Amino acid sequence: MVALPGLFVPLLLLLCALPLGATPVPQASPAGTRRQYAIAELLSFLCSIKPLNFLLCGGNFQGLGNGTVTISTPVGDATGSADSSAAARFAVRYATATRWQESVMATKWEFPNGATDPSALPLACPQTQNDLVTTGQSEDCLSMILYVPAAAAVSKVPAMMWIHGGSFVIGSATNPGLDGAALAEATGSIIAVVQYRLGALGFLSPGGQSNLAVKDMINALQFLQRVLPSFNGDTSKVTIAGQSSGATMVRALLATPSASGLFRSASIHSDPMNYGFLSPGTFQTLNNFLKTQLSCDSSDSACLNNISTDDIVGISTNVFNTATSLDASAGAAMPMRPVTDGSLITSPLDITANFPRQSKTIIVSTVEHEAGPTIYSIFTDSLPEAAFASVCNASLGPDRTSKIVNSQHYAIPASDSTSDVDARVQLETVGTDQVWRCPSWTFARAFAAAGGKVYVGKYVVGVTYPDNEDIAFCKDGGICHEDDIQVVFGTASSPTREQKSLATQIQARLKSFLASGTPNTRGYQSWSTVSGSNVNALVLGGSGGSADVGACDPSFWGQEVPYDYQLFGN
C-alpha cells in the first residue's frame, strides 16, 4: 500500500467511486454528470502528461521494476524511478564534452554513462579516490539527478539546482546526504543535484581556456530551462544553491552576466570567500605549470586525448599541491577555481572593485565552526597560548598576526588563566572569521548596497558530516564545515529532536524562498535583510536570535585586517 501525501487525498476521495480509466456513467442530475466528466477529464490529463502519474494511474510506486515514470520532454522521453512515496528520481546527462573543451548541452534525453536502468546513478567526475564517491568515475560525467515531488502532479512548482562542494577537486551528485527526495517533498519543489568537471579537467586546459566547469553549470541551467516545463517546473522560479566550493560556483554564476537570466535567486552555504576568484595572471601561472606536466604539445589533441584519466588526475593533484609555491594567491584550499576572465566572469564580486548593480535575492549562510575540521585535524592535542601567535604568523604573516593577536576580538577571557587556555579555540575562531564568516558578511553588505536583497544566517546546530566523524571536536559538539548539508536536505539517519526541528525550519524557509523569494514563513522568527552595515544575521538553531558581529565588524576584517583577495589582488 502506497502512503499518499495529504495533497492527493481530497482528489482521490472524489475519484474512489470511479474505476481508473473507465468512462463515468451519466447520472440523472446534469450538474452531477458535468462534475463526473470534469473529474474524469482531470484524471486523464494528469495521467497523460504529469510526472508521478503512477500515483493516480495504478503504477507500482514502491517496486522499481514496475514503478517507472515516463515524461515527454522537448529532448525526448524521460524515464525515472520511484525514489520515495512522494518523489520520483530522473538521472540524465545534461551535456557532453570533449576533454579540455567547452561542454555542449544535450539535445536528447539520455541516462548517464550509457545506462539503461532508470534507477542507475551517474558516475562521478575524475578525482582522487575518497570515501565520499562510491559510484565509480568517468570523464562522461556531466549529469544531474532531478527529484520531482508529488506536488508537481497538480500544480506548477519552483526548482532548485544544488552544486556540490569538494574544493573543486572531489565530490559528486551522489555525495552522502545529497538525496533530494525529502527536500523536494518538503519544499514542493523540483531539486536538481548536479555535477561538473573537477580539477585540471574543469579549471585548466592546455589550450588556455579557463572556467570550463563554470560553462558546464551554465549548460546545466540551460538544460533545466528547456526540460522543467515538462515536469511542471516553473522556469521563472529557479534558485541556484551550493555548499563550500559549490557555493563559490554559485557566486561565479552571480558574476556571469550571460547566466543571469537562467535563475532568479541563490543560496550560498559556507563559501570560502576569503580567497576570491583567481586572477587571470594566477590562472596563467597554474596553467603553464599544467602544460609542463603533460607529455604532449598543447596543440596535439590526439596525444592529449590519449593520456589516461588516472594520469590526468595525478597531474591535477600535483598542480593542487604545488599551487601556493607557484603563486601564493592561489591559496592552499582550492587553487583551481573560477577566474575573473573579463568575458564570462566580469567582476570579482568583492570589495577590490566597483560592485555591479544587483537585483536578485540571495541567502548567505555559514556554520559556527567552519574551521573546526582544519584546526582540529592538524592539531590533535591542545596547544599552549604561546602557539596562537606563532601559528597565525605562519598562516597570515606578521602584519595581520600583530593586529589579530592584539585585538580584543580574539583575547583570552579575563576569567581564564593562560595555563588553562587551548589555543586551538582561538585559532578555530580566527580561521572561521577569516575564510568564511567575515568575508561572507562583507560580500552581503556589498551585494545589498548594490541593490540586491540579502538574508544572512549562521547555523549553530548541525548534523556531523561523514568527513568530520573522525574529528573529535566536530563529533563532540562542534558545528563544522559541511554539517549544514544534511540539515538542508533532511537526510540525517537518526536526527536528534534539535536537528529535526532545525531541518523542518530550514525546509519551511526554503519552501517559501523558492516560491516567493523570502525565507520568512509563519511560525518562525522574522528574518530581516541586510541593511547598511547591519547584516541582521539570524541564528539558525538553538534559541534563534541575532548573531554577534564580533570581528566581522566592517572596521576590522576587510579594513584593518585584509582578506587574502585584498592582500594579493585580483
Q: Which three cell numbers stand for residue 70?
A: 515516463
Task: Provide the pairing of β-strand 68-73 with 76-84.
Answer: antiparallel
Rounded to an integer, what distance in angstroms lies between the CA atom of residue 150 and that of residue 250?
27
Q: Is 473 helix (H, G, I), strand (E, B) or coil?
A: helix
How many residues are listed for the chain in this entry?
570
C-alpha 479: how far from chain center: 18
Using the 8-state DSSP alphabet, how is residue 411 labeled? P
Alpha helix (H) ranges present in 188-255? 199-203, 212-227, 245-254
The residue annotated as part of the active site, out of 172, 244, 316, 347, is 244
Rounded to an integer, what distance in angstroms lies between the CA atom of residue 551 and that of residue 560?
11
244 is catalytic: yes
Q: Which three cell numbers stand for residue 464?
A: 556531523
Rounded to an integer, what distance in angstroms lies between the CA atom of residue 203 and that of residue 211?
5
Choose among 493, 464, 506: nearest CA to 481.
464
Rounded to an integer, what distance in angstroms lies between the CA atom of residue 212 and that of residue 214?
5
Q: Which three cell numbers stand for residue 220?
A: 546545466
CB neighbours of residue 101 within 10 Å? 14
Rounded to an integer, what distance in angstroms lies between the CA atom of residue 384 and that of residue 404?
17
Q: Residue 306: enclosing H or E segment and its boundaries?
A: helix 301-306
Q: Which residue has the cell 581556456?
A: 209
Using the 8-state DSSP alphabet, how is residue 64 labeled? T
Rounded to an integer, what distance in angstroms lies between the CA atom of residue 479 and that of residue 175?
19
Using the 8-state DSSP alphabet, how is residue 349 labeled? -
Task: Provide the pairing of β-strand 104-105 with 95-96.
Answer: antiparallel
Task: Provide the pairing of β-strand 453-459 with 265-269.
Answer: unpaired
Residues linked to residue 144 through DSSP beta bridges, in sequence order: 92, 194
Q: Residue 382: enclosing H or E segment and its boundaries?
A: none
DSSP assignments along 126-153, one per residue: S----TT--S-B-S---EEEEEEEGGGG
Rounded to an integer, what distance in angstroms lies between the CA atom of residue 518 and that of residue 453?
10
Strands (E) in 398-554, as ranges, are 453-459, 538-540
Task: Quote the Cα angle for 377-167-392, to 5°.
Answer: 45
Residues involved in catalysis: 244
